[in-house]
Every structure is written in C-alpha cells, then in structure tokens.
A and B are shown apart, each in its own frame.
Chain A
Amino acid sequence: MGGLRDWVLAVGLVLAGGLALAGVSAPAQARPFDEVVEAGVVRIVVYRDFAPFSSGPDDAMEGVDVDLAREIAKGLGVDLHLMPLTADENLDDDLRNAIWLGPRVSREVGDIMLHVPYDQRIKQSNSLIDTRNEMIVLFSPYYREQMVIARHAATPRLDALHDEDRLSVEVDSMADFVLSGALGGRYRDQTRRFIALPMAVEDLRSGALDGVMGPRSEVEWILRDVPGEWKVSAPMVPMMGHMDWPLGIAVREDSRDLGYAVDGIFRAMMTDGRMASLFRAHGLTYTEPYP
C-alpha cells in the first residue's frame, strides 16, 4: 500500500506542476488523493434504484457497485460516504450532478463516480471540434456490459425473434430503440415497455411475456426469480452488430491521482480473481473489460 501511495503522490506532483505552469489554479472543490486521505473519508457516487449494482434505501444500499465502493475505501484506508444519485436524462447530466457541479438543491459532489462507460469519445461532441465533459476524466474499466436477449430459445440474430414474441424492455433504452426501430419496426407493437426491468418479473413468471432485452447484468438479475430454462444470447442487430461496452469510473479532471489509486485497487482485484467472485456472489456473469 505504501508503495502505491508513493507512486500516486509522484504522479500528483507532476500534474500539479503542469497545472501551475499553465497558470491554472485548482478549484476549491477539488478532492485529489491527498485531501481524501487527509479527510479520512471518500465520497463515492452510485446510481439509485439500480439493481444489481446499487439499490435499496439510501442508508442501506446494496449491490456490486456498493461492494466495490467499500473495496475502494478499504484500499485507500479511509471511511466510505456513499452518495446515491438519481439518474438524469444522459451521462453528461449524471457526470455534472455527480462530480463537477452537484445536484440543483444540495450542490454536493462526490470524489468518484462508479458505473461510467469507459469510452473516451464521450469527451468529444459530434462535431469533433467542441469538447464536452471537460471537467472529468475516465479511469479504470472494471467489467464489460453487453446487450442481450433472454427467452426460451437462443437468439443469435435479432431476426431469430418470432413476430409474436413479446419482449420486455426498459422504456426509452437502447433495447427499446432496437425493438421499436430495427427491421422497419417489425417488433414495435408487441414490445412491452417498463419504467424499470424488475417491473416485468411478474409477467415473465406468468408467461404473459416471452422474454426480456437489456444489459446482461440486469437481465440475469431479474431472471433469478423466474423459473424456467432461459437462453441468454447477445444477438447481432442490423446496422449495430453486437453491442457491448466497458464500465469504469470518473473523477474530476484535477483529481487524476485519485483515479490512479482506484485503478491500482481494481487491477489487483482483477488479477487475483476477487473482482470475478464479487460479481458471481451476486449471481452475475463477470466479463473482463478487455478480452
């Protein structure tokens, strides 16, 4: 641990020097590694109502990301202050609320946000001229999420679905978009849309629904309680192919040393198998961020 900290400090000094040369002063809210350690508490942001990663009452949340937040605090040798975040309309909004500005009422920000897609393109706008999300940096991919369909038969390609198959999706999600829009909207009318996937469980049990489409972790999670032989496939989707993406963390751009510290903790967990067993303990398949 001592070795890691020294290394992180060295990086921090180099960065601070760079900022000073550029004439940039760090905003007061910045919580780089040193300040977090000195304060003795790390503030980690997780999504609310987001099983199997972070769900339950604000003061008693559980799930994979909650466990990971505990591992980070342990690794840094500080206490954990968990900050539940209500998801906004997109990731840009969430990063603003979680890391660099805070929600409208409290304006309290966290030091680290979990479950952030590790995709450097989210720092560029479509025009490739403007930057966006300048206030944050992405770090430390820890697993790979994948879009799947679960039903009683395999679904290697989207058009393996029968025209009468009734699939549940989260409203206004990628799965909703695929089933409403792909193949000329062939599956649009019989798709059933829910505010959140757990609301589909009852209809899956009764047979009123034939399957579910969504991120693998969420699909595996709701199917624990639904008896039957479920075949989970990652289908080819027209124009899009297979859909998967790595998940990591975000920190403020002036707290890179904190990002490196978490990276060290996560790398160790992935190397010695603790990351995979943590996912398995929640009944989930673990997929490494990069094959």
Chain B
Amino acid sequence: MKSILRSVTIASALVLGATMAHAAVTDAEIMDDAASTNQIVTYGLGHQGQRHSPLSQISPDTIKDLVPVWSFSFGGEKQRGQQSQPLVKDGVMYVTASYSRMFAIDIKTGDELWQYDARLPDGIMPCCDVINRGAALWGDMVYFATLDAKLVALDAKTGKVVWRKELGDYKAGYSATAAPMIVNGKIITGVSGGEFGIVGKVEARDAKTGEMVWSRPVIEGHMGTLNGKETTMTGVKNASWPGDMWQHGGGATWNGGTYDPETNLIFMGTGNPAPWNSHLRPGDNLYTTSTLAIDPDTGEIKWHFQSTPNDGWDFDGVNEFVLFDLKKDGKIIKAGAKADRNGYFFVLDRTNGKLLSASPFVTKTTWADGFDLKTGRPNVIPANRPGNPANTGADGKGSSVFVAPAFLGGKNWMPMAYSPATELFYVPANEWGMDIWNEAITYKKGAAYLGAGFTIKPLYDDYIGALRAMDPKTGKIVWEYKNPAPLWGGVLTTGGNLVFTGTPEGYLKAFDAKTGEEVWKFNTGSGVIGSPVSWEQDGAQYIAVSSGWGGAVPLWGGEVAKAVKDINQGGSVWVFKLHGK
C-alpha cells in the first residue's frame, strides 16, 4: 500500500510540473518589474529597489480580512536564518532558504514543484549565519549564489543545474549570500568574505553561459578585466592606502546592487576595510564603505560616494542605493537614497554622485557631527574613534570608547522601501551602541594577536528596532513604529497605502503608510527577517514572506541577546490574501 501511495504522489507531482508553464523571462520584463503586478522577477520588485507594489486591493480598510492561504516548510533540520525575498512567475514561487537551498512552489496549492540543495563543503566560514537573500530570473533559468561562493543557474522548470561558476575561493574566505541581478542578459554579482585577506569585486557574466564578461575589484590598485583582457586600474595605486595593504584591503560587495535604466548605471555598496585597526592604514582606503556607480557594459567606475572614510567602526557601506525622483523646488532630480550602517540617510544625485543631503535616521551618531555637503565628507569626532593599540599600556588594554550606532549598524542588510504615492522612505532602523576597546588577550591560529573587544548595548529600555518613515526632501522623520527586538527584515510598500515588515517576535505587520498606525499583524511562528512581496493572481492580491529567525543578531549577543533569547528558529514561507478573493 505504501509503495502505491508513493508512486501516485510522484506521478501527480510530475503532472503538476508539466502543467506549470513557465514562459521565458525577457530583459524587457525585468526592466518593467516595478510597474508590473502579475509577477516579481527581480530582487527589490524592480531594479530601482523601491520594493513598491502598485496593487491596492489590500488597504487599511480591507486588511482585516487578510488571512493565510498556505504555509510551506523548508524542512530538514536547517531551521534558521530565512532572509530571502520570493520571486513569482506564471503561478510559481521561487524562494531560497538557509544553507543554500531553493524551492519552486505552485502558488495555487502550495505544492512543491522541485527543491535544490547545494552540497556545501565543511570548511565554509560564513561570517553572519547560513542565510541567502534571494534569486534572479532570466530566460528559462533561475539563479542564486551559495555559501561556498558559487553562482548556480538552474532550469526553472526542473531545478536541474545548467551551469555553476566560482565567484571566489571559499577556502580563502569568500562566500556569497546576496541575490544576483540581471542587466540586459548579464548576471551581476558581488561577493561576501571575512574580515581579512579578501578583496571585494563586482562581476558580470553572460547569463546564458556563465562566462565572465567583466570583473571590477573595488580596492584601488587592482586591475579590472573585460572579455579576458585587463582594462583599467581601480582608482590610483597608493593614493589612499599605505604600502601593499591595498592587496588585502577588504571592501566586500556582499549585499547586491540596484540598476538604473535611465542613466545605465549599476549601484553597488562596498564593505569595511581591513585590517580592523584604522590607525594602521592612514588614508581614505578607497573604495571601501562606498557606493559605486558602474557601467554595466564595461565595468568602469563612473562615480563613487564614500560614507565612512578610513572606517574604524566597522560601518560597512553596503546598504542598498534606492532610486527615486526627488521633487524639489519645482524640479525633478534623478536621485538615489541610502540608509547607511553609520546612521546617516544620504540622498545623492544619481547621475554624478553629488551629496544632496545627509540626515541621521537614528537618535545617536556619536562618531560624526553631520556631513559637509560641499566636500561630501563626515565631520568626524576624533575622540570617538577607537584608540590606537600601538599606544596601548603594558597590560595591552587601550581606552574604551562608546560609539553609536553599534557595528551592526543604524540599518544592516535589510532593505528599506520607497512609496511613490507618499514620497516617503520606510527605513528599518535599530537603536544600539557599542563599547569598543583594544583587547589585551586574543589569539589567532595559535599566535598572539591584537583584536578589538566590543559589547553591543541597546540605547533604550523599551525598544531597539524602529521602522521610520523618512521624508527625503527634508530629512525629517514623519512617523515611527518602535519594536522591542531589533528589526532585521526587509520592507514593502503598496498602492493600498500600506507598509509591511516583519519582526523577530514572529509577526508580519502592516502599517498605514501615511500615519504609521499599525493596522494588521500575524504571527508566523518564528522570527521574520525576510523581505515581503506582493503580486496579483486570479483577481486576488497576494502577500508573501519567509519566516525563520537567525542571521547576525543571535550570533553577536551582548545585552541585545536578552531581547531575542526566547525566539524560536524556523524555516517556512507564508502566503496571504483577502478572505473570499
């Protein structure tokens, strides 16, 4: 009996697979993703990264009827760290999961169509949990990057591997977790990596074959390549790095990028410089902690904006650069905005990288007193830079400084959203600081070493997380929602005047986009740190989000650990629509 049942199940799965017709995804569909409502074929709901769905069936008036349609378990023992954003095409959801897994699910029924599990080697060293942030669709293929720094192209119908390319050597510390991006037939990727030895880069490959088109290391002194030949050097060698330190300068491009068809530019953030001790590397250390504008055809850097020169606080500059039209003084400026780890919300002219405004989106930014709009540089407060271990006392203990934001950032990886209707950004922020000092006793691979010690501390007793509506014209906070645990999930805005985001406490929540009033919540059973999406199918507006606590917060602990210690891990994706639709 058992065996008969099993064969029936397999047969029905096969029939189901055959009936799910997935039409090839075209470059035009990808460029139109922000406006289209029946599918989601890009990370960010459009390469502009606005995370806005024009759909309005679900609104503050109707949302009381928003109910679950199905929930899908990612299964296995790997129940942690679900940071993905689902994609939707022709009735099929493509969602990645922790430990480099991908699932194709029939949206009507919640049935699994196929599952792909990357075989991960034991020696991988992902810094910040075993997460993955999402996939890319193009042609008949679906793509994602794995923790062992491989880029995998799968047949979207079957989940079978079409090609697999190495983004970096995992044994040398490279990894990959960001969603790739397809620009006119090229697949664009960055790379993750540890704190030392690696060099961040942005690369373009032929989406069909996986063959490399161009590679652009983001640290000055390194050579770029195009079609297998060296092109130009990144920056000017030794202009902002001493000695040969540029060779191992860091700057991991670990959070993916956005793309602007109007200016034909890719925007990619870069991570912090190495080594951690800023006193050893006098200079700006370009192009770490920056946003780079890159030509997608050649890999040339067109402009850069560095948010934390000579970073000494681990203020990664990888945060997404979201493109929007800034209406100001009767003009429309092609702008972009970035809520940086360092606590400042930047608005730049995206045609040239000029800084238009820099406004704190957290309550304390002790490391700098604003930005000089003429030079685009921060007014750094030198006393709040961690001390030089070379001047440390005989006990090896340097002075301790308190800095806010903490190194996990005013905002970390989790993408903010923009609503063209309210003309506001919605920033998932966290209010925390850190004590940081030179540690007397550390060892690395059996040898004495000078590390930094740090303790993260919440700034307030009643909340850490804060979802804030920011007006990019004024830099003012219009409303805020305070959350006890740190916010670690992405944000979605809709044409129905709603803002969705998840909380570690397990809730997917919806807010009135204009007032910030909480109008709906649903507990998914584990912390929500993924990015919600919305699309339309058979006359109904759908909402989906992954659920599964994990990521960097539980790894770092400190006093923050108290706010999250009772949260259970998990691994699932939830789908919602209005009852009766």
Contacts and interface: CB of A to CB of B under 8 A. Distances in A.
B399 to A, nearest CB: 12
A147 B496 CA distance: 65
A91 B389 contact: no
Interface string A119-150: 10110111100000000000000000101000
B1 interface: no
A7 interface: no
Interface in B405-448: 437, 439-448
B130 A239 contact: no
Contact of A88 (B125, B437, B440): B125
B172 interface: yes
Given A126-B437, A172-B196, A181-B388, A191 B444 contact: no
Given A122-B441, A126-B439, A104 B126 contact: yes
Contacts of A94: 445
Interface in A173-197: 173-174, 176-177, 180-182, 184-185, 188-193, 195
Given A89-B194, A121-B441, A181-B390, A193 B247 contact: yes
**Chain A residues touching B, range:** 35 or more
Contacts of A104: 124, 126, 130
B122 interface: yes
Contacts of B274: 172
Contact of B446 (A48, A116, A243): A116
B450 A177 contact: yes
A147 B444 CA distance: 13
B379 to A, nearest CB: 25
B447 A189 contact: no
Contacts of B450: 174, 177
Interface string A254-279: 00000000000000000000000000
Report whether over half of chain B's contact residues are helix, strand or loop; otherwise say mixed: loop
A247 interface: yes
A125 B397 CA distance: 12
Contact of B243 (A116, A191, A245): A191
Contacts of B243: 180, 188-191, 193
B123 A48 contact: yes
A215 B277 contact: no
Contact of A172 (B172, B275, B439): B275
Interface in B443-461: 443-451, 453, 455
What interface size band does chain B fall in? Answer: 35 or more
Contacts of A25: none
A61 B1 CA distance: 51
Nearest to B451: A90
Contacts of A240: 396
A215 B280 contact: no
A241 to B, nearest CB: 8
A86 B125 contact: yes
Interface in B279-294: 279-282
Contacts of B453: 125-126
Contacts of A191: 243-244
Interface of A: 47-48, 50, 53, 86-91, 94, 103-106, 108, 115-117, 119, 121-122, 124-127, 145, 147, 171-174, 176-177, 180-182, 184-185, 188-193, 195, 214-215, 239-240, 243, 245, 247
Given A174-B450, A181-B389, A185-B282, 18 more contacts: A47-B446, A89-B196, A90-B442, A90-B444, A94-B445, A104-B124, A105-B121, A108-B122, A122-B441, A124-B441, A127-B455, A145-B447, A176-B275, A189-B243, A195-B172, A215-B447, A239-B392, A239-B394
Q: Which 9 pairs between the two chains have the least Cβ-Cβ distance?
A: A181-B390, A172-B196, A91-B443, A189-B243, A86-B123, A180-B280, A87-B445, A115-B446, A121-B441
